[in-house]
Amino acid sequence: MTGAAGGIGRACALKLDRDSPVRDVLVLADRDGPGLERLAAEMPGRQVLAVPTDVSNPDSVASLFSAIGALPDPLAALVHAAGILSVGSALEVDFQAWRRTLAVNADGVFLVATAAAQMMLQRPLKNRSMVLVGSNAAGVPRSTMPVYAASKAAAAAFMRSLGLDLAPRGIRCNTVCPGSTNTGMQQAFWGADAQSGRQTVLEGDASAFRVGIPLGRMAEPEDIADAVAFLLSEQARHITMQDLYVDGGATLRA
């Protein structure tokens, strides 16, 4: 579980702790080492391996999977939620911001997912699944986040292609695409007037060519975690190479 220390990643980790057999080892990865330790403390009775990891760094990812490989049980599931946000007009974003965002949000997916795939192939299990936490920005233009949207689109496309490569070996790869979700990342958009900012998200902003949320509510991190857990489970055993939008209808996808 990458990106485990906060937001959607944290909710996913807690969901997996609640739902998976207590004998399963839960591996938590994030750049925020202290955050990982706090999360692990919320999982009494569970064997937890907390590994501070920078998913954009090949050596750091290699160290993570070396630690996973030392565990006695085979790798059954991956949830990759690590990511960063970059905002600004496409005409204003500098190249370094572009590279940093792609390094985490796209390179990180490549490094982590391919390492997980290689490890899963070594020791087959009945149900093996990978889920990427992406964004609905991957499928709709955003006037203030072109770099973020591009990075998430690249990651989702990679996961679909990886899923095609792995399908004959029984490994499923899917992407959950959240919309606006009540996390610290989302709240940073709202500015000093949080109530007004939240209402704009719900109702839309015509000046930014952005619709609101048809269901009239913002997602909680747990809503995304529920979708992730479903795609990991045997209930989703015939689902692979899919992008599941969990955004209250905000992207109006056909």
Both tokens of 155, joined, read 């990651």
pLDDT at position 17 over 80: yes
Three-class DSSP category at 181? strand
Beta strand 48-52 pairing with 26-30: parallel
7 contacts 82 by C-beta, under 8 angstroms = no
Q: Provide the residue type at 22 as one letter.
A: V
242 contacts 175 by C-beta, under 8 angstroms = yes
Positive or negative torsion for Cα 171, 27, 156, 228 = positive
CA distance 111 to 113: 6
* Average pLDDT of span 15-26: 95
Active-site annotation, residues: 148
Nearest Cα residue to 116 out of 162, 175, 47, 176: 162
CA distance 235 to 58: 33
* Structure confidence at residue 189 (pLDDT): 67
- When the pLDDT of each residue in the chain is averaged and rounded to a whole number, the result is 93
For residue 29, what is the enclosing H or E element? strand 26-30
For residue 211, what is the enclosing H or E element? strand 210-211
213 contacts 247 by C-beta, under 8 angstroms = yes
Within 10 angstroms of residue 196's Cβ, the number of other Cβ atoms is 10
pLDDT at position 26 over 90: yes
CA distance 93 to 74: 42
For 127-172, write each residue's pLDDT tens digit: 999 999 999 999 998 888 999 999 999 999 999 999 999 999 999 9
Work out the end-to-end distance of the chain between its first and last CA atoms, rounded to an integer number of angstroms. 31
Dump strand ranges (E) for 144-198: 171-178
Any idea which of 53-62, 179-188, 189-198, 239-248 has the lowest mean pLDDT? 189-198
For the chain, which domains are there? 7-179+219-246 (3.40.50.720)
